[in-house]
Structure 1
Amino acid sequence: MTQDTYRLGVMDGDGIGPEIVPAAVRVVDAAAQELDIEWVPLPVGRTAIDEFGTPLPESTVEALSGVDGWLLGPHDNASYPEPHRSRLNPSGFLRKHFDLFANIRPARAFDGARALVPGTDLVIVRENTQGFYADRNTFAGAGEFMPTPDVAIAHAIFTRESVERIAHEAFRLARQRRRRVTVVHKANVLRLTSGLFLDVCRDVARQYPDVEVGDAHIDAMAAALVRRAPEFDVIVTENMFGDILSDLTAEIAGSLGIAPSVNVSATRGMAQATHGSAPDIAGRDVANPVAMILSAAMLLEWLGERHDDPAPARVAGTIRDAVADTIRGGVTTPDLGGSAGTRAFTDAVVVSIKHMTR
């Protein structure tokens, strides 16, 4: 069912977040002429620590329960004072709290950008709640323990239910793309855990006879992507493997600065750039806002599907076209070999949107 107004939370975060998140908001506002979007600013990160004594105030979490989706800027938890530095970071907490089990991370090479592997156009579908990231796969606590000061142990947890739901996400997405799914695993060594992931994905594949399915070991997949990334379409894998591969595919496509993502459940969606807070370039107007802009577009597309409303998807398409047009026209940030600053690049995208929507 379509709706009149979409309420979207917006959290700038740390480092370059206060530069790239407002850029994304500005681009969405420029493109969303047929949508009524109400932005709900919410505190998170170091500024929240200074004001509320925590990087993720309870008021922020409560407010997120009442919005349609949200944009989360990068966080720099490594710089937080203790005890916040050692606790689950804001992103990890929100993924766990709202059961955002699917992390969708596209990697697309743009014309006019210096891609290491031109023609790359694939999507990493990452299971977001279990696997080898122990801070998210247990009910309480970090999932790590040290029986002695010289021994550290972490749990890796895989359940059939969680693998089934991420596999369905991957196969449904493949039907919208080129109908190919590659399951990435390490079942030759981790026969029970990674083996269960592979077996369940193969079981789900039988429900999608129109989608071609293959599999690859994680180490072999990393090598294959460097040589022949354009051959791959949708890659589904567990939490840590997906995190690693998505950074690799982002650089193959041109830069971490162009790597968007959304974290979703059946009812919640969070737009979040794949990259970190980059404190070394914060405040210098050189950060690439593309990843955050395209993450916002992905959130709009997800909202359109959830509400059976074609308008958000049209806005998302306009944003993606404007970003591609801007890069193709030679306006790029330093990470892509150009000289445009964050604001100048955003200005160019807004101009492109205005030309498209006249």
Structure 2
Amino acid sequence: MPMPSLKLLCLEGDGIGPEIMRATLKVLEAVRPDLHRAVEISQADIGFAALQRDGTTLPEDVIARAKASDAVLLGPVSHNEYPPVSAGGVNPSGALRKALDLYANIRPAKSWAGLPHPIAKPVDLIVVRENHEGFYADRNMHQGPGEFMPVPGVALAMRRITHDASQRIAERAFAIAAERPAKKVAAIHKANVMRLSDGLFLDVVRSVAASYPGIAYEEVLVDAAAAHLVRSPERFDVLVTTNMFGDILSDLASELAGGLGLAGSLNAGPNHAAGQAQHGSAPDIAGQDRANPVSLILSLAMLLRHFCEDGAAGRIETAVAHLLADPATRTADLGGALGTQAFADHLVSALKRNAA
């Protein structure tokens, strides 16, 4: 009996989003023969295009379509430039994570052969970040003259950490580590200061670690982790951490490996997944065919691997590595001469040659 189709909703986003989405879908078409199931592709507008037409950057019908899909491929959004939420400026990325229960943000950082990176030692690790809680749980309060609290000029941020969310992200991190050669997990925290919230997080991670005796486990303060990433990145394999720490450290790790434009990202939940470019929308080069599409292409590969399409995902990753190793087949940001679509075309050609 044939497997059901994989329903994929593509959301281009802002700035360079349409260009890198077009390039990425070329790659998806090239690996269709490798897939064990058909892929049904649909598209919808979010971001400024949706705001102009519908008065919101994330229309309700797009959320409904995302829930009816198996997976989302999400381009970059310009949420820092959106109007207030009251005027329709919803952050599509954050809202979709909540709507689809995408509790795990998985960000590999790996140095590429032949490409320079800021530190001498190569990077090969994964940051597994809890996606819903921490200081990003939108439980903030502020004080202006005569509002809410008796003392003006005060702002409070409440950090929400729960047992269940900590357990889900810890289990995801250890499952990932179990499939990697090094088999190491580092829990990143600041429990010496945030004793209650990070104390709870660490208690839960320790209980999960006890179920994985074959995986080496350590706990590292977040400031020390940042220093070790720069000085000795080989110390780390899988880092599991809370929302804000993971957001910061994953960007640091990707930059140390060569840049956000060369790193994929997956948001995963129990019923849905979203591949998402790590970088921003780069409006200054939008429409100029200058954007590097590698991040979204690798996010597609991660999405395919999530749905057990390891063969196609591996072929994409191998072909990307082959192109990045040769200066003649790099985009301009990496010292090459290729534009966005030309890079995708070279990648498609490489995939076809390897398939022959």
* Fold shared, TM-score > 0.5 on shorter chain: yes
3-state DSSP of counterpart to 2:173: helix
Residues of 2 paired with 1:26 and 1:53: CA distance?
A: 31
1:103 partnered with 2:105: yes
Residues of 2 paired with 1:84 and 1:23: CA distance?
A: 34
Shift of residue 4, structure 1, vs aligned partner: 4.3
Write the deviation string for residues 209-251 of structure 1: whole angstroms up to 9, x where unpaired.
0000011111111111011113311000000000001111111
Runs of 4+ in structure 1 deviating by more than 6 angstroms, as ranges, are: none
Q: Which residue of 1 aligns with 2:332?
A: 334
Are 1:17 and 1:73, in contact at CA under 8 Å, matched by a contact in 2? yes
Write the deviation string for residues 15-74 of structure 1: whole angstroms up to 9, x where unpaired.
111111121111111112133221111111110111111111111111111111010111
Residues of 2 paired with 1:199 and 1:186: CA distance?
A: 13
Q: Which residue of 1 aligns with 2:167?
A: 164
* 123-132 or 145-154, which deviates more: 145-154
Residues of 2 paired with 1:276 and 1:158: CA distance?
A: 28
Q: Which residue of 1 aligns with 2:316?
A: 319
- Structure 2, unmatched stretches of 5+, are 144-148
Q: How does 1:148-187 map to 2 (within 5 A)?
A: 148-177=151-180, 178-187=182-191
Are 1:260 and 1:273, in contact at CA under 8 Å, matched by a contact in 2? yes
1:289 partnered with 2:289: no
Q: Which residue of 1 aligns with 2:146?
A: none
1:71 partnered with 2:70: no
Shift of residue 155, structure 1, vs aligned partner: 1.1
Are 1:255 and 1:335, in contact at CA under 8 Å, matched by a contact in 2? no
3-state DSSP of counterpart to 1:95: helix
TM-score, length-scaled by structure 1: 0.92
* 171-180 or 323-332, which deviates more: 323-332
Are 2:56 and 2:87, in contact at CA under 8 Å, matched by a contact in 1? no
Shift of residue 203, structure 1, vs aligned partner: 1.3
Write the deviation string for residues 152-184 of structure 1: whole angstroms up to 9, x where unpaired.
111101111110110000000001002100110
Residues of 2 paired with 1:86 and 1:11: CA distance?
A: 17
Are 1:11 and 1:42, in contact at CA under 8 Å, matched by a contact in 2? yes
Shift of residue 119, structure 1, vs aligned partner: 2.2
Q: How does 1:1-358 map to 2 (within 5 A)?
A: 3-35=3-35, 36-83=38-85, 88-117=90-119, 118-135=121-138, 142-146=139-143, 147=149, 148-177=151-180, 178-304=182-308, 312-330=309-327, 331-358=329-356
Distance 1:259 1:149, change over 3 A: farther
Residues of 1 paired with 2:140 and 2:71: CA distance?
A: 28
Residues of 2 paired with 1:317 and 1:144: CA distance?
A: 46
Write the deviation string for residues 309-329 of structure 1: whole angstroms up to 9, x where unpaired.
xxx211111111110111112
- Structure 1, unmatched stretches of 5+, are 136-141, 305-311
3-state DSSP of counterpart to 1:32: helix
Shift of residue 338, structure 1, vs aligned partner: 2.8
Residues of 2 paired with 1:16 and 1:51: CA distance?
A: 19
Distance 1:119 1:152, change over 3 A: same
> Alignment length, in residue pairs?
345
Identity between Structure 1 and Structure 2 (%): 46
Are 2:83 and 2:89, in contact at CA under 8 Å, matched by a contact in 1? no
Residues of 2 paired with 1:64 and 1:316: CA distance?
A: 22
Shift of residue 83, structure 1, vs aligned partner: 4.4
Are 1:77 and 1:85, in contact at CA under 8 Å, matched by a contact in 2? no
Letter in 1 for 2:135: F
Residues of 1 paired with 2:59 and 2:40: CA distance?
A: 21
Letter in 1 for 2:271: T
Residues of 2 paired with 1:73 and 1:2: CA distance?
A: 30
Letter in 2 for 1:52: D
3-state DSSP of counterpart to 2:281: coil
TM-score, length-scaled by structure 2: 0.93
3-state DSSP of counterpart to 1:323: helix
Are 1:254 and 1:336, in contact at CA under 8 Å, matched by a contact in 2? no
Residues of 1 paired with 2:2 and 2:159: CA distance?
A: 40
